[in-house]
Amino acid sequence: MAFACVVPRASAATQAATHPVSTPAPATRQVLVMLRMPSPHFRPDGAYGGGYTEDGTRAARRRVARDLAATYGLRVVDDWPMPAIGIDCFLMEDTGTGPVDRLLDTLAHDSRVAWAQAIQDYHGLADGDPLLPVQPATHAWQLPALHRASTGRGVTVAVIDSGVDANHPDLDGQIKLRRNFVDAYPDGAEAHGTAVAGIIAAREGNGLGIAGIAPGAKLLALRACWETAGPPARCNSFTLGKAINFALMSDARVINMSLGGPRDRLLETLLDAALARGVTLVGAADPAQPDGGFPASHPGVIAVASDTQRAPPPGSLRAPGTDVPTSLPGARFGLVSGSSYASAHVAGLAALVLELRPGTTPARLRADLDGGARIVPAALASGAGQAGSIDACAAVARAAGACFCLCPSTTTTASLPSPRPPH
């Protein structure tokens, strides 16, 4: 089977990961007005963790704040005691139209006010995705440039695999739905499915982990495989058949199958039905099989080998598949290798194309990817086979109708339309 060994490498940053909280930006006409607290000492209590007990004068300061608001055309929005610096802080909103700087100067000269200031905006200094610089697709596929043209928004990708950790912080909100088609083994978050899902659609710019190839896509996490102590995952024609059927009934535009095994009539029939419906099928090429194994070798399926695989099957495409950082169960990240993960890259790339050109047929999409593939001379010299490494930039540029990044393949960019700004 085309499953690769997962080598987890958790980082301290991932272990301490938390979900980002979205805070609305403050209104530009909001100001902070500080009123002095009385100088007698205070004592901290449990209510504020550094707050203060009601000193009997707080009500008076609130009355002063209301008087100030009425005098200067302000509205009191909120307040908070800050006894560590001896003030009560009042958030007020200017209801007038005059310059805020003039208002602040006027407040500063009112004897009742300790000081007044504009409310400022701050931002965190963490990188958007800490592991993005070491993702192979960042450099080989110019991933940030691809995302300026497309993120796969509106495209549903079915991940037929082992269990996906829908609670992983880099997959939070990326799973459209999750279904289990394995009755014999308990459901749960598993390594292979979670890793594949992360490569396809991990959240972008959330300060955690990686960026998926298609972070705007939504995933159907369809558990048709289960993980044991032996191979990374096992499936059978019944569980896979149920999952593929469900994907078709759920209007998936792309189906990723990072798995391999013998030909099967039920599965062949389902794959033919998927192709007839215009669904793009992506399969991992089994390095142990000369033809890539099934389903990768099935007519119409885009077979994908790892870019470091020697003698990949004829007709297959090559994509990043060695030491790829991705999501693992339990809010972890690790490095994975194998054609399973190369297939996930291409499933994400298909979603990018389909956002830009929704009516693209599976055959046209395959032709676009094949036209954007190039044989590396060094690979030819070493007898590595005739599979081409995908030029993702050129492939997406065809769909966008413009060159938006440096397309290294001069033979593929010559036929592109005149550049236009990406939508």
User: Mind listing the pLDDT tens digit for each residue in 369-379?
Assistant: 987 555 444 44
- 114 with 171, same domain: the answer is no
Environment class of residue 333 by beta-carbon count within 10 Å: exposed (0-12), middle (13-18) or buried (19+)? buried
Over range 61-66, report the average pLDDT: 93
DSSP assignment of 331-373 equals TEEEEE-SHHHHHHHHHHHHHHHHHHSTT--HHHHHHHHHHTE
Percent of all residues in the chain with a pLDDT value above 70, rounded to a whole number: 78
Q: How far is CA 160 from the centre of its chain?
A: 18
User: Mind listing the pLDDT tens digit for each residue in 176-221?
Assistant: 999 999 988 899 999 999 999 999 999 999 999 999 999 999 999 9
Does residue 417 lie within any of the structural domains? Answer: no
- 281 with 317, same domain: the answer is yes
Q: Which of 161, 165, 307, 391 is catalytic?
A: 161
**423 pLDDT exceeds 80?**
no
- Report for 7-16, 65-74, 364-373, 392-401: range of highest mean pLDDT: 65-74
- Report for 25-34, 63-72, 81-90, 95-104: range of highest mean pLDDT: 63-72
Does residue 11 lie within any of the structural domains? Answer: no
Does residue 419 lie within any of the structural domains? Answer: no
Q: Which of 327, 337, 339, 340 is catalytic?
A: 340
Q: Which domain holds residue 101?
A: 30-39+54-118
Residue 237, SS3? helix
- 66 with 88, same domain: the answer is yes
- The tokens 């449990």 sit on which residue? 46
Does residue 123 lie within any of the structural domains? Answer: no
Give the whole-angstrom CA distance, residue 176 versus residue 48: 40
Does residue 17 lie within any of the structural domains? Answer: no
Query: What pLDDT sits at residue 387?
Result: 55
- 100 with 145, same domain: the answer is no
- Report for 59-63, 194-198, 404-408: range of highest mean pLDDT: 194-198
Asked about 237 being catalytic, the answer comes back as no
Does residue 337 lie within any of the structural domains? Answer: yes
Give the whole-angstrom CA distance, residue 386 versus residue 316: 8
Angle between helices 265-276 and 237-249 (to 10 degrees): 10
Is the peptide bond between 81 and the residue preceding it cis, with omega within 30 degrees of 0?
no
**20 pLDDT exceeds 60?**
no
Give the whole-angstrom CA distance, residue 34 versus residue 80: 10
User: Mind listing the pLDDT tens digit for each residue in 327-357?
Assistant: 999 999 999 999 999 999 999 999 999 999 9
Q: How far is CA 115 from the centre of its chain?
A: 44
User: Mind listing the pLDDT tens digit for each residue in 278-308?
Assistant: 999 999 999 989 999 999 999 999 999 999 8
Of the candidates 94, 150, 170, the residue with the CA atom closest to the CA atom of residue 405: 150
- 179 with 287, same domain: the answer is yes
Over range 381-395, report the average pLDDT: 65
Give the whole-angstrom CA distance, residue 296 versus residue 285: 5
- 99 with 165, same domain: the answer is no
- 179 with 98, same domain: the answer is no
- 146 with 291, same domain: the answer is yes
Q: How far is CA 161 from the centre of its chain?
A: 19
- 198 with 107, same domain: the answer is no
Confidence of residue 135 (pLDDT cuts 50, 70, 90): very high
Asked about 418 being catalytic, the answer comes back as no
Does residue 15 lie within any of the structural domains? Answer: no
**How many domains, the chain?**
2
Q: Which of 88, 94, 147, 192 is catalytic?
A: 192
Query: What pLDDT sits at residue 118?
Result: 84
Of 118, 142, 166, which residue is a domain's last?
A: 118
- 315 with 252, same domain: the answer is yes
Of the candidates 316, 404, 342, 310, the residue with the CA atom closest to the CA atom of residue 136: 342
- 79 with 208, same domain: the answer is no
Query: What pLDDT sits at residue 17?
Result: 33
Query: What pLDDT sits at residue 48?
Result: 37
Residue 251, SS3? coil
Over range 405-419, report the average pLDDT: 44
What average pLDDT is seen over the chain?
81
CATH number, domain of 357, equals 3.40.50.200
Residue 111 neighbours by CB under 8 Å, 6+ apart: none
- 103 with 202, same domain: the answer is no
CATH number, domain of 87, equals 3.30.70.260
DSSP state of 328: E
Query: What pLDDT sits at residue 411?
Result: 38
Asked about 161 being catalytic, the answer comes back as yes
The encoded tokens of residue 99 equal 């310059």
Of the candidates 262, 332, 340, 260, the residue with the CA atom closest to the CA atom of residue 296: 260
Does residue 351 lie within any of the structural domains? Answer: yes
